[in-house]
Amino acid sequence: MVAELGFILLIFAFVLSAIHLFFSTRVCFINFSEDNFFILRKINFSICLLLIASFLFLIISYVLSDFSVLNIYNNSHTNKPLLYKVSGTWGNHEGSLLMWLAFLGGYGFFLTLYTKNNNKKFTAKVFFTSNIVNIGFIGFTIFTSNPFLRISPIPEEGKGLNPVLQDPGLAFHPPLLYLGYVGLTIPFAYSIAALLEGKIDRKWANEIRPWILISWIFLTLGITLGSFWAYYELGWGGWWFWDPVENVSLLPWLLLTALLHSNRVTEKRDNLKSWTILLSIIAFSLTLLGTFIVRSGLLTSVHAFASDPARGIYILSFLFLITGASLILYVIKYDKIESDEKLNLLSKEGGLLLNNVFLCASTVTILLGTLWPLFVEVITGKDISVGAPYFNLVFLPIILPAIFVSGVIININWKRNTVENLLKKLNKAIIIFVFLIGVILFLLEGPIIFFIGIILSIWLLISIINDFYEKIRTKKSISDIKLSKAFSIPISTYGMYLAHFGLAVFILGVAISDSKKLYYEGVMKEKEIVKVEKFKIQLKEIIEKKEKNWISQTGNFSVEGFKKNISMFAERRLYLDTGMPSTEAAIYRNFFSHLYIVMGQEQPLNSGKRIVRIYFNPFIILIWSGAFLMAFGGLISICDKKRNR
């Protein structure tokens, strides 16, 4: 009965969305009145609540282990802990789509509250656009991906969840990622509404800013947790592998970062308005493209959900419809939205535009590398792959200058600057920077990418300190500093500082970890010892045990090389409900660095020998710490109430 209620609520939401579309079309383009707008808000509230409630009913069905529902039969089991029953709700195609709809409902609910006192004609157009997205995804869920579909006869037990998804990371990574994806709907709706109005100003940029930041924060956290989950759960030993589905999450993040900077120019200088609109349209379109890639079966990945071409055709058609109509409207309205004011390249807005160019170019390189195998397969029938060498070759030379430019932008003024004034402001920072680089080059050694990463992270840090110093010192004397001025600096500026500091920490972690890591792969038997640099690692014994949901073989490894000898336990599990194996890596955390051991299957069988992979990843924790600092910086910026007003 619970499942039926969930499906009925979903149908009601679809019907109300159709009514809303008809009614909002009339309100927006034919006959606007405040009474009609009030009705529109009520319908919008109702749709949002129905979507959230439908998803809650699916969660309840999972908790009750209702195996009469096909989705639950395929992805759950009575032996699963409660956490994985709940998280299993979105660990599949149908359930994850319903979670997407629930988040659409949540964003729509807060949007309706947020716009209570806003321009009603404009808000009606925002509702009109967001509801088109609602209809598209609700229709996709009902007609191609019904999560409440019944089966008969009712099985006594379910098939269980994919073992790699039975992890606490699954409870947080997909929801955070989806909150980022779905959040892009609001900037997109605002942009289409602005095009329909033919008016974009600073007030519009100020209103859209929190929604961009919220989406950026969630997407940052989702990608970061996904990277960390794959690191310790999949046994890959690294933090990023240019997997196609990893790439499609990075694409909207890069454009969201560009959109944040572009919107800042629109908000501050009433410039780059058309560029801000275009970025919001393309960023949202990339989330639809990512949905198409993940759910069409075109790519094989541990992240991929579905392999139904019919579903892929639906999403692809929706993608072309939304993106095509938006771009046509953009072209028609372009002359009305762009200002005639010239942009001075030697200014903060000019620097932010240059940074946007780098970010967009890096997005294009990743998009081409991700889609190229699909084009080749369609045209020639050949199966090819594009891996890390391509992305490192074309992505790094574009993104590294963008990072360097970010340090300059922090210190540059709005509107007009001269080279002389800029050098005067940066002269002390440049002297300190050159001195530190000289010391590093003298004391350290490593590949070129190691030094580039160190240099960029130091440059960002010095740029932040220099700008803060300039803001709090007086005109009278360099040494005369008034700390009281620190309290007059906007909260959003501190958020910007922290986000860029997090970027510096992230780059430092990547530079050290990727350049100085150690790796061993080989076959070991019990009592055998291998040496990896300063570490002596012995496979002492294999321990076999049976748990409620799996049987396991655990390798007990003794490690010498730290201040004290340690024991590490790498596990290989076989899940009873699915018959699928999984790997549990042994990770020893020594401050910022990790020693990482993965034990594979017997090779050959019954030989007592195991395939073992050992990684030493120095300072790898800085990668995820830096990303979390970036997200926290965004959160601080949202809390700037003065700027939000």
3-state secondary structure 549-606: CEEEEEEEEEEECCCCCEEEEEEEEEECCCCCEEEECEEEEECCEEEEEEEEEECCCC
- Output the CA torsion 62→67→69→75 (10° steps): 60
Whether residue 149 contacts residue 70, with contact meaning beta carbons closer than 8 Å, is answered with: yes
Torsions phi, psi for 279 (to 5 deg): -65, -40
| CA angle, 460 then 461 then 464, to 5° | 85
Within 8 A by CB and 6+ apart from 96, the residues are: 90, 174, 178, 305
Regions of the chain short of the pLDDT cut 50: 475-476
d(CA 184, CA 174): 16
d(CA 507, CA 514): 11
Checking 40-45 for CB contacts under 8 A at 24+ apart, the result is 40/124, 40/127, 41/112, 41/127, 43/16, 43/19, 44/20, 44/108, 44/112, 44/127, 44/131, 45/109, 45/112
* The pLDDT of residue 340: 64
Residue of 115, 123, 100 lying closest to 51 (CA atoms): 100
Find tokens 């045209």 and name the residue. Answer: 379
* The pLDDT of residue 324: 95
Residue of 87, 459, 137 lying closest to 75 (CA atoms): 87
| pTM, full prediction | 0.92
Looking from the CA of 324 toward its CB, the CA atoms found within 13 Å total 6
Find tokens 């069988």 and name the residue. Answer: 605
Looking from the CA of 579 toward its CB, the CA atoms found within 13 Å total 1
Cα–Cα distances in Å, from 52 out to 56, 102, 128, 536? 6, 4, 20, 54
Number of other CB atoms surrounding residue 644 within 10 Å: 13
Tokens of 555: 């390798």
* The pLDDT of residue 470: 83
254 residue type, one letter: L
| Widest pairwise Cα distance in the chain | 85
**Strand-strand pairing, 550-560 and 581-584:** unpaired
Cα–Cα distances in Å, from 547 out to 79, 552, 574? 10, 8, 10
Within 8 A by CB and 6+ apart from 56, the residues are: 102
d(CA 89, CA 3): 13
Whether residue 91 contacts residue 168, with contact meaning beta carbons closer than 8 Å, is answered with: no
Whether residue 545 contacts residue 584, with contact meaning beta carbons closer than 8 Å, is answered with: no
558 residue type, one letter: S
Tokens of 374: 């699909």
Burial of 117 (0-12, 13-18, 19+ CB in 10 A): exposed
Whether residue 570 contacts residue 596, with contact meaning beta carbons closer than 8 Å, is answered with: no
d(CA 430, CA 127): 50
Residue of 449, 592, 618, 453 lying closest to 533 (CA atoms): 618
* The pLDDT of residue 156: 83
pLDDT in tens, 33-49: 888 889 999 999 999 99
* The pLDDT of residue 307: 54
Number of other CB atoms surrounding residue 383 within 10 Å: 9
Within 8 A by CB and 6+ apart from 345, the residues are: 353, 354
* The pLDDT of residue 125: 94
DSSP state of 154: P
* The pLDDT of residue 476: 47
Three-state DSSP class for 482?
Answer: coil
519 residue type, one letter: Y
